[in-house]
Amino acid sequence: MAQVRRMVEDLIHRGRWQADDRGLLNVFDAGYDAPHMARQLEILPVEILSRLHTERVMRKEEAWWSAS
């Protein structure tokens, strides 16, 4: 996470990102915790995109049929 923060801060410092630009898109593989990274980097102009592990469940709906 420190590397991402440093990269974004360097881009801002060098004038490669301006206040009216879109957020900097950061793409990560499934080994990263995207929600945690988004919370830790929320003060920076970034957008986080990450592939989720197959066992990660965002929402599990109840079955509409009866088990009986």
Please give the Cα distance from 22 to 56 (Å, whole number): 29
Residue 31: predicted pLDDT: 83
The per-residue pLDDT for range 36-56, each reduced to its tens digit, is 899 999 999 999 999 887 777
The pLDDT assigned to 3 comes to 93
- Determine the residue type at 22: R
Q: 């009866």: which residue's tokens?
A: 66
Q: What digits encode the pLDDT tens for the residues 53-66? A: 777 777 767 766 65
Distances from the Cα of 33 to the Cαs of 3, 24, 52, in angstroms?
15, 18, 8
Confidence tier at 17 by pLDDT (50, 70, 90): very high
* Distance separating alpha carbons of residues 16 and 10, to the nearest angstrom: 9
Task: Give the confidence band of 12 by pLDDT, cuts at 50, 70, 90.
Answer: very high
Beta strand segments in 1-68, E: 24-28, 46-50
